[in-house]
């Protein structure tokens, strides 16, 4: 007897931080708006955390230096500091809405969640489309936030569909449509294929998912390593599947970003480090946990990893942690006078659940 068709829904809140700011101050709508992670040196030092679509029309995107964004944008653009705990609060409220649509749900990040709707809709993609429309409408009605939603037979496909539907869209990919849908996608549409990996694949003539399907497993293993090669092989065929369930207690939270160039310039590195800390703290907040240790991760141009860590008080404010990370990074460079940095990151560990108070006030803005 044939079982139910698998039905997975991926929810993605559009340009989340910037959209929250627009909702709470309608005067910002129609103007380029950039949410910034300031490194503390001056009012233009740091990186872009989120940008609305008006700003993106000028080429502004997350991870870009604020100075570069200022050079691209017109004078009426709005620049706002990131508000970590507030976005976490709004996120929790949205996720509570989504949770009512399926008992099988996993929060992926502060602005993403994945739901297994198979049982809820009896394997029907027609009913799943109704669920998705209701979910979008309820989030808009209750929180004034727009989101993009993808529905497909597994999480990877549902995420690709959600990305393809942006902004404020809904894309349904039924089982018999998977092959045709994938062949139209660029290779970096697959989750886990970033800029550097895409460039490596292009050297093999791979530009689309259809191209990727033709690459032998041995070649994929040379590019990705054995474990990731298996994921890429299956995902390119729409066959990578995984159960949707809440994650267990995390042991650590980390974020690593690639620098624009190999450098030892603290001004360049601090801006990226600030963005890493912002993302790591947001993740920690959504997990409802605190950290008792923080570490800096430095990856050199020779792909050597150097780490340093220290103890911190639980719920130490952002500015204090950033000051600690700057000192750790300064020590790394002082102890390694010849190295050039290629990537930097932040690691929060020694995690414990927050007791006696809401996670929403765990980090000051």
Here the tokens at position 249 are: 């207690």
Question: How far, in Å, are 184, 206, 241 from residue 187 at the CA level?
Answer: 9, 7, 19
Q: What are the tokens at 253?
A: 């939270």
d(CA 169, CA 147): 7
In terms of Cβ atoms closer than 10 Å to its own Cβ (0-12, 13-18, 19+), residue 69 is buried
Q: How far is CA 331 from the centre of its chain?
A: 29
Whole-number Å distance between alpha carbons of 352 and 114: 25
Q: With the C-alpha atoms ordered 119, 125, 130, 134, is the resulting torsion angle positive or negative?
A: positive
112 is catalytic: yes
3-class state of residue 347 by DSSP: strand
Among 3, 6, 2, 4, smallest CA distance to 238 is for: 6
Q: How many residues does the chain have?
A: 365
DSSP 6: P
Distance CA 329, CA 335 (A): 10
Q: How far is CA 89 from CA 29, 149, 165, 235, 273, in A?
A: 22, 21, 26, 33, 24
For 170, residues 6+ apart whose C-beta sits below 8 A from its C-beta are 129, 132, 133, 136, 148, 149, 150, 151
Nearest to 171 by CA among 186, 185, 181: 181
Rounded Cα distance between 237 and 209, Å, is: 8
* Secondary structure element (H or E) that encloses residue 92, with its range: helix 84-99
Q: Catalytic residue among 21, 22, 54, 112, which?
A: 112
Measured CA to CA, the distance from residue 187 to residue 209 in angstroms comes to 5
Rounded Cα gap, residues 213 and 146, in angstroms: 34
What amino acid positions are annotated as catalytic residues? 112
């Amino acid at each position: 007897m044939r079982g139910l068709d698998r039905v997975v829904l991926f929810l993605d809140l559009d340009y989340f931080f910037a959209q929250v700011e627009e909702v709470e101050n309608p005067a910002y709508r129609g103007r380029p708006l950039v949410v910034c992670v300031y490194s503390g040196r001056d009012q233009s030092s740091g990186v872009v955390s989120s940008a609305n679509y008006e700003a993106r029309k000028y080429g502004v995107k997350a991870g870009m230096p604020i100075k570069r964004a200022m050079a691209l944008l017109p004078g009426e653009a709005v620049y706002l500091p990131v508000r970590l705990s507030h976005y976490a609060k709004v996120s929790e409220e949205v996720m509570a809405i989504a949770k009512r649509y399926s008992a099988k749900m996993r929060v992926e990040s502060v602005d993403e969640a994945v739901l297994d709707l198979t049982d809820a809709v009896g394997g029907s993609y027609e009913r799943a489309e109704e669920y998705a429309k209701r979910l979008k409408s309820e989030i808009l009605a209750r929180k004034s936030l727009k989101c993009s939603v993808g529905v497909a037979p597994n999480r990877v496909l549902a995420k690709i569909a959600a990305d393809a539907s942006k902004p404020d869209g809904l894309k349904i990919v039924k089982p018999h449509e998977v092959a045709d849908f994938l062949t139209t996608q660029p290779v970096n549409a697959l989750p886990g294929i970033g800029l550097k990996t895409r460039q490596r694949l292009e050297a093999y003539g791979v530009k689309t998912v259809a191209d990727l399907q033709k690459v032998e497993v041995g070649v994929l293993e040379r590019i990705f390593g054995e474990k990731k090669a298996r994921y890429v092989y299956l995902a390119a065929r729409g066959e990578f599947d995984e159960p949707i369930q809440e994650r267990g207690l995390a042991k650590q939270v980390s974020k690593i970003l690639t620098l624009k160039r190999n450098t030892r310039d603290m001004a360049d590195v601090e801006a990226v480090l600030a963005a890493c800390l912002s993302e790591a703290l947001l993740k920690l907040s959504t997990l409802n946990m605190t950290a008792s240790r923080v570490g800096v991760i430095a990856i050199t141009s020779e792909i050597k990893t150097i780490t340093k860590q220290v103890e911190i008080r639980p719920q130490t404010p952002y500015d204090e942690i950033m000051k600690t990370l700057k000192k750790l990074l300064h020590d790394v460079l002082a102890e390694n006078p010849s190295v050039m940095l290629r990537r930097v990151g932040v690691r929060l560990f020694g995690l414990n659940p927050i007791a006696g108070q809401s996670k929403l006030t765990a980090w000051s803005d």
